[in-house]
Structure 1
């Protein structure tokens, strides 16, 4: 590897760093039953989108209802726990130790992030920059969020690796011109394996040499 070359690892949050998708599935399944009974998998349809986009696309024209859902979501997130996926914190710190730039790229807004910081005061140590919904104008699958993270880290897109679980996030990483590692946490390995460079079940056992091998296209990370 060229030792002057710098790489970046860009992490989605829910379903990648934090094991929270099951909690969100419960919330959005309930909203689907109440307001979109014609969409039995509503919680899957909205996966990876910002709350602003969800409200605009599926609750447009009813300001009172939008405010109600936004308020209920905030109350729900106040009660959530935010467990890490196995191995992810250690993996990120190992990457940092070896000079890999790290960023969080999430569809969550700053209000949600305040709840995460309350549970995990150390969370900001894991990322040099954080791109939240409040920093972008176009939600995933648009690549804007990942391209912004690359610019903030001053790393070329083709030297970035995206860690994603949702179809919209995977597409965003691809459209940004970055390598994409898919986490088989929200969708099965079979459903995402043809859309990503590699698939992980979680971060258990992941090491720096495997990451660099992938970036140099010499070995797998599976």
Structure 2
């Protein structure tokens, strides 16, 4: 078995913060309400499509604000996530973080949690793959790096794009209802959990 984790909304409780930021940016610069929900799980590269008529707004105005926002934001763990990852490591199960975030943002996360890179076997960011979720490339790359097959892989995701990518990769998908309601995730996943508080390795077996 190998286990692949998304980062935001799965390991780090950050999605609510991003939603507030992108809702504000979308309304101010595009006139789109609930923009944060529309783009959840997408990379910055994907978001550029919304600003095709005025890309300078994204790159000259929003991107510097986003970089500062990610420097200052909280990277608290999703409840039980740290303990669960430690349990997998102790059991010798290979794990990786597979995230749509870029290396600079993840460096901020490592400053908040210097222990994190040592707890998993690999960390793949948007710098490591060319196609973003819902394309399964990122998870297939994670399997390749860890030497696992789709049928022996478990993916933990919170976003609809991420869940679709996990499904398309052939892995078992467990959804976290940290970002979206469990009723919305349930038809798309093999299992849905609120967080890792009452979840352990035996629940994967």
- Give the TM-score, by structure 2 length: 0.97
1-structure distance, mates of 2:189, 2:168: 12
2-structure distance, mates of 1:61, 1:114: 31
Structure 1 counterpart of 2:159, from 144, 162, 166: 166
Q: Please say if 1:34 is aligned against 2:28.
A: yes
Would you say how many aligned residue pairs link Structure 1 and Structure 2?
Answer: 204
1:82-113 deviations in Å (ceiling 9; x for gaps): 00011111111111111211000100000101
Displacement after TM superposition at 1:169 (Å): 0.1
Q: Which residue of 2 aligns with 1:205?
A: 198
* Structure 2: stretches of 5+ with no match in the other structure: none
1:2-47 deviations in Å (ceiling 9; x for gaps): xxxxx1110001111000111101100111111222x322111100
Structure 2 counterpart of 1:96, from 89, 101, 122: 89
Q: Indicate the SS of the match to 1:194.
A: helix
Displacement after TM superposition at 1:61 (Å): 4.5
Q: Please say if 1:62 is aligned against 2:54.
A: yes
* Structure 1: stretches of 5+ with no match in the other structure: 1-6, 213-222
Q: Which residue of 2 aligns with 1:185?
A: 178
2-structure distance, mates of 1:23, 1:83: 11
2-structure distance, mates of 1:70, 1:112: 12
Q: Which residue of 2 aligns with 1:113?
A: 106
State the 4+ residue runs in structure 1 displaced beyond 6 angstroms: none
Q: Which residue of 1 aligns with 2:19?
A: 25
Q: Please say if 1:135 is aligned against 2:135.
A: no
Task: Name the Cα RMSD after superposition.
Answer: 1.0
Q: Please say if 1:149 is aligned against 2:142.
A: yes
1:97-145 deviations in Å (ceiling 9; x for gaps): 1121100010000010111011111110221111101111111000000
- Give the TM-score, by structure 1 length: 0.89
Q: Indicate the SS of the match to 1:193.
A: helix
2-structure distance, mates of 1:17, 1:66: 27
Q: Indicate the SS of the match to 1:204.
A: coil
1-structure distance, mates of 2:86, 2:165: 25
